């Protein structure tokens, strides 16, 4: 039984380089393939663009309306429907 390194050393140099670079791409891809964070009810999130110049820049998540929409409450503003791209976890 041969190890992967033994198999690669028997290949021409160009094939060895392709195999090595393929492994590097796999490592790089696996590092960045984590799913985006899931939000939970009753948590504070930071707003990228508050609804008014005088409102808070944080919102309290009330409930998830769909995969991309959340009903939230902003102090001194009230309830608002937010898309997940409009806020991030604090």
* CB-CB neighbours of 82 under 10 Å: 21
Query: In angstroms, rounded to a whole number, what is the distance separating the alpha carbons of residues 26 and 32?
Result: 10
Q: How far is CA 33 from the centre of its chain?
A: 8
- pLDDT tens readout for residues 64-84: 999 899 999 999 999 999 999
Q: Is 29 helix (H, G, I), strand (E, B) or coil?
A: helix
76 close to 54: Cβ distance less than 8 angstroms: yes
- pLDDT tens readout for residues 42-65: 999 999 999 999 999 999 999 999
Predicted TM-score (pTM) of the model is 0.59
């Amino acid at each position: 039984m041969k190890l992967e390194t033994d198999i690669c050393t028997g290949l021409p140099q160009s094939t060895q380089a392709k195999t090595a670079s393929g492994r590097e791409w796999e490592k790089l891809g696996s590092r960045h393939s984590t799913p985006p964070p899931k939000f939970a009810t009753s948590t504070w999130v930071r707003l990228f663009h508050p609804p008014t110049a005088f409102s808070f820049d944080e919102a309290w998540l009330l409930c998830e309306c769909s995969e991309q929409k959340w009903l939230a409450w902003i102090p001194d503003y009230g309830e608002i429907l937010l898309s997940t791209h409009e806020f991030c976890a604090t």
